[in-house]
Structure formats: structure tokens, C-alpha cells
Structure 1
Amino acid sequence: MRQESKDWIGVIEAGYELEKSDETWLAGILDRASPLLGRGFWPTVGIYDYTPLNINVASIETQGPALAKDFLQSSLQVRTAAVDEFFRGGKPVSSLSEALYTREPGIQAVVEKITDGAVKDKFTVKAMTGQNSALIMCWLFAKQITPTKRECKRWAQVATHLGAGLRLRQRLSSLTLDSLPVEAIFDASGKLHEARNEASASSTREVLCNAVKRIDQLRAQAGRNNPETSLKLWDGLVDGRWSIVDYFDTDQRRFIVAIKNTPHYTNLCGLTARERQVAEFVGMGRSSKEISYTLGVSHSAITNCTARIQTKLQLASRAELVGFFSPGGLRARLMEMDIAGEELLVGKYPLTNTSLLEKLTAVEQAIVIHILAGSANADIARQRRTRETTVAKQIQTIFKKLSVRSRSELVARLQAQNPPA
């Protein structure tokens, strides 16, 4: 077997190549990834972004005929509840048969119609950025398949890095050593030349120095020969903040840079930046273990963070948190805007059953909008310039008027097409 067929690290390296066009970048990822699965045909990769209502395909590359691009493009335009959820979250690695056919049996017929009967299933890898965009890679099959446990584990780890690489590409129009997100610069030997902003603290510099040396070792031949360990040790982010990326200057001198690459949200809704990041990944259906690897922080830190979010938002369970931050949920249909220092929430109406809102006062209706956006009581109080205890009492009054017991029940009630009298 050729060495490149085992080079899982090579796929990650391709994901962090920032200077190429989208088409060249995707083709490079596919060249490295296609030998790894060892089954299926016509490997294809694409980039898309999404809102609760639409999916926009930015670019697609394939090693099959042009028809393979059409298959992926058509798949992304299918509109059912299960398909919408599939492309916006769920497991990072799955087959269509296990993810969709059991939930909506009619999807199998749709897939066969799109592919003129040639395709019965797909092996899919979704690399989510955490900011409403994703890379998807798929192999086609003439029969239904089930990914193995090892395939799910390894491809999920690779997907984490491809999502981080895509997030970097969307954030940086070009990369220089002076780029604002670059917070530490190392030479090819791993010696630190400069650290700034959050990377300037002595303890942080030590963490980054160790990470640069460790990642360089994982990229050496010994690391490539042991992908199980190497993938485990190369977290999605270093210390929950940085991606480690190669940079070559005009003289082709190699530098290693630490680029701040955490998902960013304009409105934290009363949560900390880390809590908002975790909440979004929980909403996509990611487990605490997967989020830990994606953000490069400990499993216990993610567990504690999730508990704090539930407390702040008065959600009784993780299931309620998943539903509340679901990419296709009611909260997601509210677009956050900051105009002249004022935080505004804009949505396409009718978002809710207006007959229910008519039972509320104008103040209570305004508070409902903040609840739908995911704001904690403290954040609502800050924006409305009132006390947190006052907001808590107003929310309880809203619950009583609408016959609900929690925020998640409120969201479900407002989304119902025919609410009970």
C-alpha cells in the first residue's frame, strides 16, 4: 500500500493551506483524503453556508465526472426537516442511510432519482465552522453502508481541523505576519520571535511553544505512521484559542504562526464568549467530547460550561439546550445586528403565532424576543436598563399567561402552527 494512503496528517495540513483559491484548496484536500476511505466512488467535496431558510453552495470539486458535482449540488437543495437538520448539524460522520433514511424513508427514493438509480448511499464527512458554514466531503455507494467505529472517530477528528481551516480562510482575505489575528510568530526551529495580545503572557507563550514543537513532531514521519495517537494529540485549537499554521515569506522562509481562530458571535446574549461557542456546538448536536476536541479545552471544562449555560438560560436539560440553539430553530431565525451601539434583533415575520403574543403587554413581548435570541436574564436586564430580579418576575408572568413552564416550552409553543386555546 502506498504511504500516502495512510497519511491522515496530510489531510489536516491541506486544510490549513490558506493562500490558495477555494477550488485549489478543495482539490488539495480531496487529493489527500480520497485514498484514506478505501471504498466508495467519485469522492467529492464542497463548501456551503446556510441560514435557517437557505443553503448556498460556494464551490464543489470532485475526482469523478461533472455529474458528481451535480449530485452534491442537488442534494444540498432538497428541503425536508430531516435534510435541513442534517446539513446544519448532527453527527460529523455518517451515511445517508443511517442519518436520513430511517427518519424520512422517502429520502432514499429522492437520492436514487437525483442519481438516476446509480447511488444507494453516501459516506459523508461534515466539517462545521460553528459560524453557519461547512465543508462536506462524500463518497458514493451502489449499496447501503454503515461507517465503522474507526472511520467515525478518525474522520470526525479530521473534520474538526477542516472546519477550523475553513473558518480561518473565511476570516482572513490574506495572511501576513502583520495580520491582526496572528498573535505569535515562530521560526522553522520552533523558536518564538514575537507574541502579542492574548499570547503575550509568559504562561501562554510556554503553552504555544510546547504546542508548536508537539505539532511539528506529529507532522514528522513517525507521527504520520501512528495516526491514532497523532490525531488524538492534535486538538482543533491550542488552549481553546489558536490554530497553528505554516507561513512562507517571499523568500520561501518558513515561519509558524499562532492565529486566533475561535468562533466569534456579535451578541453573547449574557453568556461568556466560551459559553456562547459551546452553546452553538451543542445546538449542532455535538457531544461534550467532540466539543472538547474542537475547542481544545478539557472535557470537564465543557461539561461545567454546559451546566452554567443551562443555569443562565433556565433550561432544565441538555436536550432543551440542544433544541434552543438548534441551527434551524426559532432563535436562529432572528438575525443579530448592532446599529449605532444598539443591539437589534431582526427576523422574517411571521416568526411566531401572533395571537399568543397578543396576550402579553408590550414590555413582555419585548422580553420574549430577547428570550428567543437566547439572552440570559442578566443580559435582558442590561439591555432594558432594569434589575435582573424584575426581569425574572416578568418572565414568570409570561410563562403563566402562555401556560408554559420553561424557555424551551415557550419556544415550542410560539412555533406551533395551531396553538391550543
Structure 2
Amino acid sequence: MGGSAVGALRARIYDFDLEETEWLSAMAQAFHGLMPGARQVSLSKLRLHSGGVRLENVGPASAPIRAFLATAAAALPQAQIEHIVRNAPTVGSFSEWVEPLGVSNFWRTFSLGGLSMGDFEGLRAVDGGDTFLSLSAWYPDERRMSARRRDLLQTLAAHMAVTSRVRRVLEDEVAAVPEGEAILDVAGRTLHATADTESLATRERLREHVRRREIAATRRGDADDSLWEPLIAGRWTLVDRFDTDGRRFYVAVRNDPEFTPLVSLTEREGQVARLSAQGATNKEIGYALGITPSTAATALERAVQKLRVESRQDLPFLLEPSARTLRPELAVTSSAVETPAHLTEAEAEVARLAALGHGNEAIASARGSAARTVANQLRSVYRKLAVASRHELLVRLLRGGSDLGAEGRSESE
């Protein structure tokens, strides 16, 4: 894969001006150039639900992926499909993913345009919830990825997961400029900062990343990952926008992945544990969260100890949805939280649902409102309760949760 093609593809990943379907189509075309020999490349947005995997949105040529999902659903038990989607390595071939399950090579009978399919290379970009982006490159023969190719695709998957979350924010925004925790000009000067970004160290870190992005913009062919860190300090993504005079600036949007809380873990430990359960290595976790591999390893070690499992290999089983019935003490239930009286009725309900692990979209759907409205209500809740994250909110609302206070603070910085 040439550096120029990879650099251009990474820039395309951050193209927020395209509508989602157009973006999926453009991304599939860009990936096709990096996958010689592939008969077809498709990029889809899928969602896991109680009945299986559902297509939310697709790029070009959706018929093959729809047909393949139907074939897989008929050949594999639902639990195995969920295992592949949730816990298989982020990048690999389908034959590599299903080999450990001991299932038959049912996909050999699947044809694409009248031609039998030998295998496909896949990439999953999991955005932290039940939605994910799935890239499939269809080949006539069995595939085994080289370590170099796997590393490259894993970094691209991290960027795609980050931009998928940002797209949800932008879709909910009424204004052209998303509400962020800092606004900077192209020279890295801070134009606006909230309490979370007003420290000199934080502003300097954001300024440095603006500088890197500006370098990358002038060297589109550069594939240097240091110029394109997906998540800054495990917390922010830079989104470039234009003001009414055509001047470009950057918005630092809070964009760390949201996972269903586990009461015994800090926010960072929960993120690292979930990503490890999805097959990510410490290096991949560090890259995805904007932290060092050693920080990821330390957080994972604490998570393993607190969850009372022998090793990280036990996490996929423990963190499957069925684990809530196997280890109920890890789950947060509705009866376990209390909302303070000084919140409005709407804020109290939003706070309760957020503490139970529901994302803004799910809360909006349950309440018949907009995700943007939910985001505003949560900001009000955070201000009134003096918390800065969903995990801190959870600890604040737990009955008898005072003993968790020492661990309730976010470790994102």
C-alpha cells in the first residue's frame, strides 16, 4: 500500500462534509485502490440487536453484503455471529475469524456475480456501542494478512470508529458548528475553552495536534500516523470547520467511546477492558484512545483484577451481554440509582438512562426527543451534579456509592 494512497484515504475518513451514504460510497472506492485483486469492496454500517445483525446504511453494491448476511444467519447460530461481530479481531479474513469456532466453510458456497467466493478481508470499526462500520473486500481465494497490512488496517479502523462517533454528533447539531470543549484557529491559538480545556497543558496539547493536522493537510501523501492521532488524550477529536467569512478553524469535540458502565471499574478501565474484549492489543487500544500502550496495559491489569478473572482472555466471555445474568453484581440496574431532587423531571430521566449505559440516540428514541436535546440536558445535569463524565454520573447516582468515589474520577487525562 503506497503512502500517498494511505494518506489520501485517511484524509477521506475525516471528510465530514459528505452525507453518510455518500461517505460510505467514497470510502469503499478509496479502499478498493488499496486492495488489489478484490472482486468487490463494500462498506456498510450495521447494528447489533436482539434478533441479529441489521444493516443501517450501505455504500455501493449492497446486494452482496445483504445476501451474505442472510447466508451467515442461516448457517451460524446467533451467538456465534455476535461473537464474530463483538469479539473477533478488528482486522482479518473471514476464514480466520470463523476458524476458532470450528464451523463449516459455508461461505465457500456463496457466489458473487456468479463467481464463487474464496474468502474476504474484513475490517470492523466499532464506535463504542452496538453500531459498527464493516468493510468487506471479496476475493476468489483464501486470504491471510501480513503483519504489516494488518497493522495498517487496524490504524485505519481506529480512525473510522472515531469519525463514526463524530458523525452522530454532527447529525444532531442544528448549527453548522458542533459544540465542542475548545475552538482553535489554524495556528493553534485558543479562541474558546471550557473548564475542561482551559489548563495551559491541555491547550498546548491541542495546539500541537492542530499543528500536526496542518502539516498533514499540506502533505496529503504522508502516511505518518503521528500526524493523525485519532483521539487526543483519550478524549477529543479535532473537527475542522469554516466560519461565515470562509476562515477555517478547529473544534475539539468530546468523543471518547461510551460503553455500558461496570460499577467496579473507572471510565478508562471500562474502555480498555471493552476494547480488549473486542480483540484489540495494548498497542491498538493505546492508539484508539490516545494513550500509551503502557497506560493501556496498566488500566487493563487493574480491570482484570477488579473483575476477578484470570487474564484478558476471559474478558470476551465476561463482557458478552449474557454476562449480566452470570455476574449480576457487575451490572447497573434501574433500582440501583437515585436522581437528586433538584434536577428537572426530564433531566432526572435522562440522567438515569445515561447512568444505565444508554447512548444519546437510544435515550432520545425512548423519550421521543432529539439526540441534540438529550446532549443539552446531560450538560445541564453534569453542571448541576458537578460531574464530567458518564462514569462520574453513575458513581454519583448509585445508592451507597460513596465508597466508589476514589475510583469514580475519569482517568482520561
- After TM superposition, the score normalised by the length of structure 1 is 0.72
The structure that has the greater radius of gyration is 1
- Alignment of 1:311 with 2:310, yes or no, is no
Aligned CA distance change for structure 1 residues 131 and 315 (closer, same or farther; 3 Å)? same
Aligned CA distance change for structure 1 residues 235 and 265 (closer, same or farther; 3 Å)? same
Q: How does 1:3-82 map to 2 (within 5 A)?
A: 6-51=4-49, 53-62=51-60, 65=61, 67-74=63-70, 77=73, 79-80=76-77, 81-82=79-80
Instruction: Indicate the SS of the match to 2:291.
Output: coil
Mapped partners of 1:71, 1:272: distance in 2: 41
Residue type of the partner of 1:330? Answer: A
- Match 2:237 to one of 233, 240, 243: 243
Mapped partners of 1:257, 1:156: distance in 2: 25
Mapped partners of 1:332, 1:274: distance in 2: 24
CA contact (8 A) 1:55 1:76 kept: no
- State the partner residue of 1:113: 110
The more displaced of 109-118 and 141-150 is 109-118
CA contact (8 A) 1:245 1:256 kept: yes
CA contact (8 A) 1:242 1:258 kept: yes
Aligned CA distance change for structure 1 residues 135 and 76 (closer, same or farther; 3 Å)? farther
Displacement of 1:69 after TM fit? Answer: 4.2
The more displaced of 82-91 and 149-158 is 82-91
Residue type of the partner of 2:178? Answer: S
Mapped partners of 1:323, 1:290: distance in 2: 20
| Percent identity of equivalent pairs | 23
- State the partner residue of 1:202: 200
CA contact (8 A) 2:28 2:41 kept: yes
Mapped partners of 1:298, 1:307: distance in 2: 14
Mapped partners of 1:38, 1:6: distance in 2: 16
Mapped partners of 1:183, 1:286: distance in 2: 28
Where do 5+ consecutive residues of structure 1 fail to align? Answer: 347-378, 389-421
Mapped partners of 2:241, 2:72: distance in 1: 34
- State the partner residue of 2:323: 330
- State the partner residue of 1:154: 152
Aligned CA distance change for structure 1 residues 268 and 200 (closer, same or farther; 3 Å)? farther
Displacement of 1:117 after TM fit? Answer: 5.5
Mapped partners of 2:62, 2:266: distance in 1: 45
- State the partner residue of 1:172: 170
Mapped partners of 1:127, 1:278: distance in 2: 15
Aligned CA distance change for structure 1 residues 304 and 335 (closer, same or farther; 3 Å)? closer
Instruction: Indicate the SS of the match to 2:197.
Output: helix
Where do 5+ consecutive residues of structure 2 fail to align? Answer: 338-347, 358-393, 404-413
- State the partner residue of 2:269: 275
CA contact (8 A) 1:42 1:68 kept: no
CA contact (8 A) 1:57 1:73 kept: no
Displacement of 1:383 after TM fit? Answer: 4.4
- After TM superposition, the score normalised by the length of structure 2 is 0.73
Displacement of 1:265 after TM fit? Answer: 4.1
Aligned CA distance change for structure 1 residues 113 and 43 (closer, same or farther; 3 Å)? closer
